[in-house]
Structure 1
Amino acid sequence: MSLNTYRQLLIVWHSRTGAARQLAEQAEEEALEVLKELGETDQVSIKRLHCDQVQVQDLLDSQAYLFCAPENLGSLSGAMKECLDRLYYEVLDRLNGRPYAGLISAGSDGQGALRQLERICTGWRLELAAPTRIFNFDAQTPEAIQAPKTLSEEQITQAREAGGYLAALLCL
């Protein structure tokens, strides 16, 4: 059953090595496929923005969110954290109940970034639509940490599932 109102999924991303960017791209691609399959392309849109480009109105105009970011030194990347800090108070109590999911690229852990993202989204009173996924690249040396990353087939599938799921939620 489709609503008679226009809806939007906002995918916010930041990446240093390409992993989180690829996660966002794959999620967007599958979200668009799901909308086509459901015949909802006129009612639901997908907007993918680098975290530096996101404005208050982008958050307010969206009914669901996917955050794709790397973990750096046990936290969300500085650029993603700055984005969320910059917008936090302007949208506080204005996004309540909207669904979100997160995709974290990590060298070895990802839990710190996961906790940080979930705390911020809890403060915004967003509803976790699917568990935040951590994509571990087992990078332990400076060279491996800084090297460009390529998603595995399994990681591509998981990123696509997240995007497709959020798009489908907006079609209910």
Structure 2
Amino acid sequence: MEPGSGVRRQRPRQRRIREHRQGVSKRLLVVWWTMTGGTRQLVDAFRDGAGAQEGVELVVRRADEAQPSDLLAADAVLFATPENLASMAGMMKDFFDRSYYAALGRVEGRPYATLVCAGSDGQGAARQIARIATGWRMKPVAEPLVVITHAQTPEAILAPKSIDAASLDRARELGAAMAAGVSMGIW
């Protein structure tokens, strides 16, 4: 403490570390897949929300392009998938299959969130992702964002999706919250 000031002096080494960290960009990875465009619209809204945060590098990869090295380099992750037959999309499962052992023991405590675009429920896909992330010992930082499209016929299920404004706003808010949290070191 500075004598008579009531203010604690910061040690020079601590100050240097904090100043160095302030200049470092945090990496927020988005791994996503879509077949009918709904998840893509939600990812774009998430990107809009996250993009306003300084100090965060947003890396967006389709599941078929994402690599284990992307996951290992990330400070936080959004997993975004449609739900197909009560499960995550096959390409998301492929990403997890390709990444699981490479990341095992190396991503503990990393924050993540899940976004699911589903016709009627979405909970099956959300549970699958949560189980995998639990195996990695990652930390959920938000409840899964599940958007229901109410597509129930073969024609509606296979048709291009149009996501409502309220759901896009929720995805935007999730992006802003995740980017702010990782930028400030909350997680």
**Shorter-chain TM-score category?**
over 0.9
The answer to whether structure 1 residue 81 and structure 2 residue 81 are counterparts is: no
The answer to whether structure 1 residue 14 and structure 2 residue 30 are counterparts is: no
Counterpart Cα distance in 2 of 1:114 and 1:57: 23
Q: TM-score under structure 2 normalisation?
A: 0.85
Cross-structure match for 1:130? 142
Counterpart Cα distance in 1 of 2:165 and 2:42: 12
Compute the displacement of 1:6 (Å). 2.8
Cross-structure match for 2:13? none
Cross-structure match for 1:170? 182
Cross-structure match for 1:155? 167
For the residue of structure 2 that corresponds to 1:48, the secondary structure is strand
Amino acid at match of 2:62: H
Counterpart Cα distance in 2 of 1:153 and 1:22: 10
What pairs up with 1:91-106 in 2 under 5 angstroms?
A: 91-106=103-118
Alignment check: 8 A CA contact 2:78 2:113 kept: yes
Amino acid at match of 1:157: D
Structure 1 spans left out of the alignment, 5+ residues = none
Deviations 1:3-40 (A, max 9, x none): 3333100011000110111111110111011x1xxxx2
Percentage of pairs with the same residue? 44
Compute the displacement of 1:65 (Å). 0.4
Name the Cα RMSD after superposition.
1.3
Compute the displacement of 1:93 (Å). 1.0
Structure 2 spans left out of the alignment, 5+ residues = 1-17
**Larger RCO of the pair (alpha carbons < 8 Å, separation 6+):** 1
Counterpart Cα distance in 1 of 2:135 and 2:40: 25
Q: TM-score under structure 1 normalisation?
A: 0.92
Cross-structure match for 1:62? 74
Counterpart Cα distance in 1 of 2:136 and 2:65: 19
Pick from 29, 37, 51: which aligns with 2:63? 51
Misfit runs of 4+, over 6 Å? none
Amino acid at match of 1:6: S
